[in-house]
Chains A and B, each alone.
Chain A
Amino acid sequence: MDFESLSADLRALQQRALDEAAAAPDPESLELLQIRYLSKKGEITTVLRGIGALPAEDRPRVGAIANAVSEAVKAALAAREAELHAEVQTFRLAGERVDVTLPGRPRSRGTLHPIPETMAAIAEVFGRFGFVVYEGPEVEDDLTNFQMLNMPPDHPARDLWDTLYVDIPGRLLRTHTSPGQMRVMQSTKPPIRALLPGRCFRYEAVDASHGFEFFQVEGLMVDEGTSLADLKGLLDEFAHALFGPRKTRFRPGYYPFTEPSVAFDVECVVCDGVGCPACSRSGWMTILGAGMVHPVVLQYGGIDPERYQGFAFGMGVERIANLRHAVPDLRYYLENDLRFLEQFR
């Protein structure tokens, strides 16, 4: 046995091992090849038993060749193992295909009612301008609902608010959110910027545009220099926030508790100002009433009308929601037909 023949044996062995590794059909065969070539009783070790017959100077050279063969076989086995793994995985994944065009598993979410949603939208806009939310009672007294708002008993303007009365003397169901103005003024001092959302009641037969229960949002701002121009600027911002960039119109209105009084219109959302049945062909839709707080009201609120001035506004939430969502009938809101509510996804 000489160096040449021994090294030739090792090379032949390497070639055979590499061929067999490449042809191994499964991980188990690779396991057997591992044992056959690389274990302590494997073929490489067996070949190296002949090393003792070699001259001393050749032994390290043969050792180096044997190491190289061993590494090459290990690498071949690893490569084949990776290859086999990839094949198996590809096959498994191929079998797991699904129809990705099927509809998903439904996640059910309920919907939110347009009245509180609209109130939230209104509160959001005015909140930006420092208006803070207060809430007043719905079972009010005549004093706060009418008298302190400059409507003494038998005032003809009371006809504008047909009233529901309850079996508690002197009490009624508030006909508007305006009495909240009084409660705010009596409980805090200027500067005041207050928003009062809530439910109101009127003695009114129900049809597509009237209801005996409805919702309003009232606003009140009082300070030393608060003016009609401030009101106009603020309402313009509000209208633009809720209805987009439309023209607005400020015109005289009438409320006993404001002087001057204002009606605030936006360009018709149906016809964009051209004129249509929805806006009585005027091109305008009234969205709220407002005005400078009447000195009588300030006095009842404990505020000196010579020093302070302010404005108030009030809007129907249903009216705003109607215009935003094209709701055709006021009765939809309190009827709660899910076919209506579920449209507010």
Chain B
Amino acid sequence: MRVPLAWLREYVDVQLTPEQLAERLTLLGMEVKGIEQWGADWRSVVVGELLTVEKHPYADRLHLTTVNIGSGEPLHIVCGAHNIAPGQRVPVALPGAVLPGDRHIERTEKMGIASEGMLCSGDELRITADAEGILILPAEMPLGRQLSDLYGDAVLDVDVKPNRGDALCLIGLAREVAAATGAALRWPEIAVEEAGGPIAERLRVEVREPELCTRFVGRWVSGARIGPSPDWVQMRLQTAGMRPINNVVDASNYVMLELGKPTHTFDGAAVNDGKIIVRRAFQGERLETLDHVDRELTEDTLIIADPRGPIGIAGVMGGADSEIGDRTTEIAIESAIFDPVSIRRTGHRYALRSEASLRFEKGQEFRLARIGADRVAQLTLAWAGGSVARGRVDTAPAEPNSSQLAFRPRRVSKLLGTDVTAAEQRALLRRVGIETEEAGTAPRIQVAVDPRPLAVPAGEDLVIVATVPTWRRDLAIEADLAEEIARVRGYESTPAHLPATLMPAYRPSPLKVRDMIRETLAGAGLTEVVTHALVSSLDEARLLWPEDTSEPAIPGDLAAQSGDEIVVTNPLSAQHSVLRRHLAASLLDVLSLNERQGRGDVAVFEIGKGYARVGDGPREWTRLAFLMTGAAEPASWNRVARPYDLDDARGIAELLCQRLGLPTPSYVPDARGFPFHPGRALVARAEAGSEALSGRMAEMHPDVLARWDLRAQRVIIAELASPVLDSAVPARVRVEPIPRFPEVERDLAVIVAEGHTAAEVEATIRRHGGALLRGLRLFDLYRGAPLAATEKSLAYRLVLGARDRTLTEAEVDAAVAGVRSGLESEIGAHLRT
């Protein structure tokens, strides 16, 4: 809310600078987001007096004027306005002046005659809404003075929180200033001179929805003349951020800013039969609202109607037909209290939220309906003339008294963590208008209202009863009063100390395991990325990363990590409209972005969630994905570059398994083709007890790269799942005793047909090596002469040993012979030694 200090001073004295006031209000909970210097954009605009006004010799519409600005020779200024006359004081923009909108004024020539500056309209200065005439200043304005000295003001931008609807107005903020500084609050004098006939002859009101409209107060003004408001009123509205319209509408807006009471004014002639009905709209009813949109009303919309039909949407916007216009003379004033929820829903339903509806949504003080009606009638009379009908229409004239709220000063101290005496607490409350007294009979203390009311007996504690002012609808429980006490006292005076209460039980952190994995992957040369969880549905479809339930299946409960896409029903854009199930497409997007910056070597990983809908519920799981393309190690003077390939992906999976205490993963080829290279894709899997890691790794199919418009020729992507990513507890290392007897190494070159995989060969060796085979490592892969074109040679180093003895030569030979014959008989291998 914009708060012009000049206007605020009408209700409370302010001795502080704007900056000091801003800080005080902020520390009181009324955060000042900024201070605007109103008038700072009028530079070199001074007060001048018109000496002469003559017709321009060559142009009928222009005038030649001479203007005294208090010093030097009078200025010759050409002016197009018709409301000027000698003797008037007017704002003069001198050559070199700058006006709002960064408009520069220079010496010019108009129809052959030089003009040494410009006379300004209210609109050009953004002081009033009048763009036709020159702004005529009061005669006492000193000649030659900068206009910004006279009309400039500081405007505070106060962020009023949603629970303090009572402070969304100048009076409300003046109350806060009074609480902060101890100054007295001055209410405006509200008195209505009622010279007209009884209102009953003019206006009748029927509220058919008393739940939704708890009070309707009506006033009537006859014989008003519609025109612009006085300049000072327009100026106030402008500084507060509201455009002046006409004297009647301005009166209504002025009261909303002053008292926080939204009201509405109807052209009385458009209220048929002088009867207002507050009801729900009928199915199919229509209304053209003030913004000239023809709206179809729904049955749950509360409207203001006359016997013929709707004339306004209650609390949100009036109808165009009953708008105050130039020929309006009869004015019906509506000052009502509406149900906040109903107003809020209506505002959302029509995407129409006005300054008025925002205030209704936050709830209104009941008596403001009466006060607001009176104030609008008073100002209308003052600014538009006419006569006010005698009395008001009021559907609920009984105004409730202030409510009582009991609290325990000891309990307040306990909440704040510091001892504040009961006397001090009561003094602090008094500063925000809350009177207190010691409780007579021990009342119950309201600790909570929802989800079930909780009121407890006070016991031995001293109980104070606070009288809550009617405007403070936010104070309902003991803790609310504690906050009032704390904020008026100043949060700064709360001591700071570290908690000395009991510690919770230990719980392992899921962040720790992820941090370990992140460090490991960074150490392996991958850079971490964090991408959007909301992606384009198109991207997901373009990639078709396989469902985890398809063949070859991913083991265990990880298979459940799939399901239907979860779709956002109100997305910001199609680019971010579904929750991703896989991370792979996001990594392709990262590659694409970096390729556009000229980066060809990209190795990135992400630990993030996948989301899917399973049955009626959402499911989320944590995944690890990485993408690698370009050089694994960039070329250097002492190193040649090596491109990333699928071996790097498997190597990283193996490294991760080591870090997580899992065995080396096993690999199964995946020949599905798209989105994978049909010969370079696999499912990896490692399991140890309840721990597991599994997922897919592949070089991406060239068609995928084409769909992402990538230059890269080979892109490796892996996406892995592991319960450990969520469970926080990695497998523990179990130590095997260091062998006491020497182990023997034997090398074996296994020549097999291409069709046999390394995994098969290794499994065969392990099966036949028996208990003596303690280690196995592939150290060479060879193709070419003298092997046949359909053959390959896999060279393994076998480590043989026993826990309890040194193996004899004969034992070693027998073990190797067993492996050899197994390889020969089972996969038709032959061996070179």
| Chain A residues within 8 Å of B, Cβ to Cβ | 102-103, 105-106, 108-113, 115-116, 119-120, 123, 127, 129-130, 132-135, 137-139, 150, 152, 154, 156-157, 159-160, 164-168, 171, 173, 188, 191-194, 197, 199, 201, 203-206, 212-213, 221, 223-230, 232-234, 236-237, 249-254, 256, 259-263, 280, 282, 292, 294-296, 298-300, 305-306, 309, 333-339, 341-342
In the complex, the answer to whether A234 meets B26 with C-beta atoms within 8 Å is no
Instruction: Give the residue of B451, B566, B572 whose beta carbon is less than 8 angstroms from that of A168.
Output: B566
Q: Mark B242-259, 1 if CB is under 8 A from A, else 0.
A: 000000000000000000
Residue ID in chain B nearest A230 by CB atoms: B499
In the complex, the answer to whether A106 meets B634 with C-beta atoms within 8 Å is yes
Residues of chain B within 8 A (CB-CB) of A213 are 532-534, 576
Instruction: Give the residue of B416, B448, B579 whose beta carbon is less than 8 angstroms from that of A295.
Output: B448
Cβ contacts A to B, 20 pairs, < 8 Å: A106-B639, A108-B525, A111-B528, A120-B515, A132-B507, A133-B511, A138-B609, A156-B165, A173-B579, A192-B504, A221-B499, A229-B418, A250-B491, A251-B491, A253-B31, A298-B448, A336-B530, A336-B590, A337-B594, A338-B597
Residue ID in chain B nearest A215 by CB atoms: B530
Residues of chain A within 8 A (CB-CB) of B31 are 251, 253, 263
In the complex, the answer to whether B487 meets A260 with C-beta atoms within 8 Å is yes
Residues of chain B within 8 A (CB-CB) of A115 are 530
A252 to B486, CA, bound (A): 8
In the complex, the answer to whether B569 meets A333 with C-beta atoms within 8 Å is no
Residues of chain B within 8 A (CB-CB) of A306 are 447, 454, 456
Residues of chain B within 8 A (CB-CB) of A254 are 29, 161-164
Interface hub of A102, A103, A110, A206 (most chain B Cβ within 10 A): A110
Q: Mark B462-500, 1 if CB is under 8 A from A, else 0.
A: 000000000000000101101100110001101111110
Q: Mark B598-620, 1 if CB is under 8 A from A, else 0.
A: 01001111010101010011101
In the complex, the answer to whether A166 meets B162 with C-beta atoms within 8 Å is no
- Shortest distance between the CB of A324 and any CB in chain B (Å): 16
| Chain B residues within 8 Å of A, Cβ to Cβ | 22-23, 26-29, 31, 33-34, 161-165, 340-341, 344-345, 361-362, 414-418, 447-452, 454, 456, 477, 479-480, 482-483, 486-487, 491-492, 494-499, 501-507, 509-511, 514-515, 518-519, 521-534, 566-572, 576, 579, 590, 593-594, 597, 599, 602-605, 607, 609, 611, 613, 616-618, 620, 633-634, 636-639, 726
Instruction: Give the residue of B345, B449, B482, B611 whose beta carbon is less than 8 angstroms from that of A296.
Output: B449
Residue ID in chain B nearest A304 by CB atoms: B454
Interface hub of A129, A263, A305 (most chain B Cβ within 10 A): A305
- Shortest distance between the CB of B535 and any CB in chain A (Å): 11
In the complex, the answer to whether A156 meets B518 with C-beta atoms within 8 Å is no
In the complex, the answer to whether B502 meets A334 with C-beta atoms within 8 Å is no
In the complex, the answer to whether B527 meets A341 with C-beta atoms within 8 Å is yes
Residues of chain B within 8 A (CB-CB) of A296 are 448-451
Contacts A212-B572, A309-B414 given; indicate if A193 touches B450 (C-beta within 8 A): no
Contacts A250-B492, A306-B454, A336-B593 given; indicate if A191 touches B523 (C-beta within 8 A): no
A156 to B569, CA, bound (A): 22
Contacts A157-B162, A168-B616 given; indicate if A228 touches B567 (C-beta within 8 A): no
- Shortest distance between the CB of A126 and any CB in chain B (Å): 11
Residues of chain A within 8 A (CB-CB) of B456 are 306
Instruction: Give the residue of A139, A160, A335, A338 whose beta carbon is less than 8 angstroms from that of B611.
Output: A139
A43 to B425, CA, bound (A): 118
- Shortest distance between the CB of A108 and any CB in chain B (Å): 4
- Shortest distance between the CB of B573 and any CB in chain A (Å): 9
A115 to B522, CA, bound (A): 15
Residues of chain B within 8 A (CB-CB) of A116 are 514-515, 518, 528, 530, 607
Interface hub of A234, A254, A262 (most chain B Cβ within 10 A): A254
- Shortest distance between the CB of A112 and any CB in chain B (Å): 5
Interface hub of A233, A249, A263 (most chain B Cβ within 10 A): A233
Residue ID in chain B nearest A105 by CB atoms: B638
Residues of chain A within 8 A (CB-CB) of B518 are 112, 116
Residues of chain B within 8 A (CB-CB) of A256 are 162-163
Contacts A229-B496, A333-B530 given; indicate if A168 touches B613 (C-beta within 8 A): yes
Residues of chain A within 8 A (CB-CB) of B449 are 296
Contacts A111-B528, A139-B618, A230-B498 given; indicate if A252 touches B492 (C-beta within 8 A): no
- Shortest distance between the CB of A295 and any CB in chain B (Å): 4
Among all A-B residue pairs, the 9 with the closest Cβ atoms: A229-B417, A227-B417, A252-B29, A254-B161, A260-B483, A295-B448, A139-B618, A110-B527, A132-B507
Instruction: Give the residue of B450, B519, B620 whose beta carbon is less than 8 angstroms from that of A138.
Output: B620
Contacts A110-B603, A168-B613, A295-B479 given; indicate if A341 touches B529 (C-beta within 8 A): yes
Residues of chain B within 8 A (CB-CB) of A120 are 511, 515
Residues of chain B within 8 A (CB-CB) of A160 are 162
Contacts A110-B528, A252-B491 given; indicate if A299 touches B504 (C-beta within 8 A): no
In the complex, the answer to whether A108 meets B634 with C-beta atoms within 8 Å is yes
- Shortest distance between the CB of A115 and any CB in chain B (Å): 5
In the complex, the answer to whether B29 meets A299 with C-beta atoms within 8 Å is no
In the complex, the answer to whether A338 meets B527 with C-beta atoms within 8 Å is yes
- Shortest distance between the CB of B170 and any CB in chain A (Å): 20
Residues of chain A within 8 A (CB-CB) of B499 are 129, 221, 223, 226, 230, 233-234
A150 to B613, CA, bound (A): 28
- Shortest distance between the CB of B165 and any CB in chain A (Å): 8
In the complex, the answer to whether B447 meets A295 with C-beta atoms within 8 Å is yes
Known interface pairs A251-B492, A254-B161; 14 further A-B residue pairs with C-beta atoms within 8 A, sorted by A's residue number: A106-B634, A109-B525, A110-B523, A120-B511, A130-B503, A193-B503, A229-B496, A234-B498, A252-B29, A254-B29, A306-B456, A338-B527, A341-B528, A341-B529
Residues of chain B within 8 A (CB-CB) of A112 are 518-519, 522, 528
Residue ID in chain B nearest A291 by CB atoms: B483
A254 to B362, CA, bound (A): 14
Residues of chain A within 8 A (CB-CB) of B477 are 259, 295
In the complex, the answer to whether B503 meets A191 with C-beta atoms within 8 Å is yes
In the complex, the answer to whether B511 meets A227 with C-beta atoms within 8 Å is no
Residue ID in chain A nearest B491 by CB atoms: A250
A42 to B524, CA, bound (A): 66
Residue ID in chain A nearest B570 by CB atoms: A165
In the complex, the answer to whether B511 meets A197 with C-beta atoms within 8 Å is yes
A280 to B156, CA, bound (A): 13
Residue ID in chain B nearest A250 by CB atoms: B491
Instruction: Give the residue of B414, B479, B525, B571 whose beta carbon is less than 8 angstroms from that of A164.
Output: B571
Residues of chain A within 8 A (CB-CB) of B620 are 137-139
Residues of chain A within 8 A (CB-CB) of B452 are 299
Instruction: Give the residue of B451, B483, B505, B572 whose beta carbon is less than 8 angstroms from that of A205.
Output: B572
Contacts A105-B638, A232-B494, A263-B31 given; indicate if A165 touches B568 (C-beta within 8 A): yes
- Shortest distance between the CB of A262 and any CB in chain B (Å): 7
Residues of chain A within 8 A (CB-CB) of B509 are 123, 127, 132-133
Contacts A130-B503, A159-B162 given; indicate if A309 touches B530 (C-beta within 8 A): no
Contacts A133-B509, A166-B579 given; indicate if A253 touches B29 (C-beta within 8 A): yes
Residue ID in chain B nearest A280 by CB atoms: B34
Residues of chain B within 8 A (CB-CB) of A263 are 31
Residues of chain B within 8 A (CB-CB) of A228 are 415-418, 486, 491, 494
Residues of chain A within 8 A (CB-CB) of B602 are 338
In the complex, the answer to whether A334 meets B530 with C-beta atoms within 8 Å is yes
Residues of chain A within 8 A (CB-CB) of B524 are 110
Residue ID in chain B nearest A122 by CB atoms: B511
A1 to B23, CA, bound (A): 123
In the complex, the answer to whether B448 meets A262 with C-beta atoms within 8 Å is no
In the complex, the answer to whether B526 meets A110 with C-beta atoms within 8 Å is yes
A230 to B620, CA, bound (A): 35
Residues of chain A within 8 A (CB-CB) of B569 are 165-167
In the complex, the answer to whether B527 meets A111 with C-beta atoms within 8 Å is yes
In the complex, the answer to whether A252 meets B28 with C-beta atoms within 8 Å is yes
Residues of chain A within 8 A (CB-CB) of B451 are 296, 299-300
Residue ID in chain A nearest B360 by CB atoms: A156
Residue ID in chain B nearest A333 by CB atoms: B530
- Shortest distance between the CB of B513 and any CB in chain A (Å): 11
In the complex, the answer to whether B593 meets A337 with C-beta atoms within 8 Å is yes
